Amino acid sequence: MGNNELIKKAYQVAKEQYAAIDVETDKVLREMEDVVISLHCWQTDDVGGFEKPDAELEGGGIQVTGNYPGKACTIEEIRQDLDKVMSLLPGKQRLNLHAIYGEFGEKFIDRDQIEVKHYQGWIDWAKERNMGLDFNATCFSHPKADEGYTLSSKNEEYRKFWVEHVKRCRAIGAEMGKQLGKPCVHNTWIPDGSKDTPIDRYGHRSLLKKSLDEIFEDEYPEKYLKDAVESKLFGIGSESMVVGSHDFYLGYAIKNNILICLDNGHFHPTEQVGDKISACLQFVDELLLHLTRGVRWDSDHVATFNDEILLIAHEIIRANVLHRVNIGLDFFDASLNRIGAYGVGARAVQQEFFFALLEPTERLMEYEETGKNFERLAMLEIMKSKPFGAVWDYYCIKNNVPAGEDYIAEIQKYESDVLKRR
Ligand code: RNT
Ligand code: ZN
C-alpha cells in the first residue's frame, strides 16, 4: 500500500475515534484554514537585512548565534527560501518583513529616508502569491541605537530620527495593506533600556510615550493598517530596565486602542502568555503573537510542540477568539538549516492549533461546570494519546504538502541542490 493510501486509511480510523468523543475531524480540517501564520523573513539571513552589502547584525538589540552554511545573502535568495518554506506548510500564510529588508539599490538609504518604492518588489511578490504582508520598523542594528535608547532617547536628534523611521514604516505598511487588500499589522519593538540600575526610568518612559503619540498622530484606515506594540522583560544590555515593559505597552495599547504584541520569550519564565490572552482581550480588540521558544532566557530558539504554545492555542480556540489574534513567529537560530528551522517551527505552531481544534471543548466545559474535576483532568490527559498525527498527516496530503517525516527529505534535497551552492 502506498504511503498516501496508508494515511487515508489511518485517517478514517482516527475520524471514528474522534467522533466517539464528539470531535468532528472534517470540520477541524476546514477550521484550520483560519489559522494563518505570519512567517518572519528574518530567520533566512540571521536578521541581517540589506541596507549594506553583507549586512550583519551590528549594534545592540538583537543577538543571533551559529554559522550554519546556506544563509540567504540576497533578496532573491530570501524569496527562493520563503517559497520553499511555504511549499512545506499546509494552508495559506502571510509574510512578515522588517524595514531593513527593502530593495535599496546601490545607494545607502538611511532609516529616516525609506519609502514605499523600496518595498514595492515585495508587495508585487506577495500579490503574485495572494499573500498578506506584515511589517516592522527596525529600531536596532544602527549607530543611532548604540547608546541603548531609540524612541525614548534623551538625544532629541536621535529621538526624532526614530520617530520619523517608525512613521515612515507605518505609511509603508498602510500602502502594503491597501495594495494587497488585506490589512498589514505593523509592529513596533525597540531595544531601549539600561544595563545597570537607571535613575530616570520615568523620564525615558515619558519620552517613549511622547514619541508614540507623535507616531500615531498619522491616521490610516483600519482596513489597511493595524498597529501593535511589543513589550519585553529584559535583553542583553538592558537587564536592569526595559523602557517598553509590559505594563507600559499594555497601558498604551488599551488607552489608544491598538494591538498589544505578546512575544512568549518576553516574560518571566514561569509566566504563561496563554493566560494573558483572555485578560488582554477584555480591553484591546486584537492581539499580535510572536511565537518562539525561550531556553532559559529569551533565546529565540525554534518553536516546538510544547506546553507553552499549546496553552496559547488552546486558550484562543476555547475562547473562540481566533479572528482577534494575529499569529506571528519570532525565532532566529543560525546553528541549523534555516529552512529546516522554519519547517519545524511553523509546522509545530500549526500542529498546536490543530491539536487545540481537536479538543472536545463542550464536554470539558460541562465537566468543569458540574464540578467534575477528575473527569476534566482525565479527558485532557486522554486527548494526548488520541491519533492526532493521523489527522495531521491527512491534512498535509490533502493540501499537497509532505506528511510526517517526508519534509525532512525535502529540506535535505533543498540543502544539497540550493543552500550548499551558495
Ligand atoms: C526582540 C523582539 C523583536 C525582534 C524582531 C526581529 O526581542 O522579539 O520582535 O525579535 O523584531
Ligand atoms: Zn518578538
CA-nearest residue for atom 3, ligand 1, is 189
To test ligand 1's pocket by mutation, which of 40, 45, 62 has the most ligand atoms within 8 angstroms of CB?
62
Q: How many residues does the chain have?
A: 422
Q: Cβ(331) to ligand 1 under 6 A?
A: no
Does 345 have pLDDT greater than 70?
yes
CA dihedral 331, 190, 176, 160 (to 10 degrees): -160
Helix H segments across 118-260? 120-128, 156-180, 201-215, 246-256
Mapping DSSP onto H, E and C, the string for 341-385 reads HHHHHHHHHHHHHHHHHCCCHHHHHHHHHCCCHHHHHHHHHHHCC
Q: Cβ(42) to ligand 1 under 6 A?
A: yes
Domain with CATH 3.20.20.150 in the chain: 35-357
Quote the pTM value.
0.97
Distance, CA 81 to ligand 1 centroid (Å)?
A: 21
Question: If pLDDT is split at 50, 70 and 90, which confidence band does 62 have?
Answer: confident
In the chain, the percentage of residues whose pLDDT exceeds 90 is 96
Output the CATH code of domain 35-357. Answer: 3.20.20.150
Grid cell 499537497 is found at 400
Q: Please write the tens of the pLDDT for every residue from 83-114.
A: 999 999 999 999 999 999 999 999 999 999 99
Q: Please write the tens of the pLDDT for every residue from 281-314.
A: 999 999 999 999 999 999 999 999 999 999 999 9
CA 136 to ligand 1: nearest atom:
11
CA 263 to ligand 1: nearest atom:
8
Q: Cβ(47) to ligand 1 under 6 A?
A: yes
CA-nearest residue for atom 10, ligand 1, is 330
CA 235 to ligand 1: nearest atom:
7
- Report the alpha-carbon distance of residue 126 to residue 95 in Å, rounded: 8
Q: Which of 71, 165, 266, 276 is catalytic?
A: 266
Q: Cβ(38) to ligand 1 under 6 A?
A: no
Question: If pLDDT is split at 50, 70 and 90, which confidence band does 63 have?
Answer: confident
Does 1 have pLDDT greater than 90?
no
C-alpha distances (whole Å) from 351 to each of 33, 75, 345, 380, 384 are 13, 29, 10, 17, 13
Does 368 have pLDDT greater than 80?
yes
**What pLDDT is stored for residue 52 in this prediction?**
82
User: What nine digits make up the cell of 347?
Assistant: 509546522
Quote the longest CA-to-CA distance of the chain: 71
Q: Is 417 a catalytic residue?
A: no
Q: Which of 178, 226, 232, 301 is catalytic?
A: 232
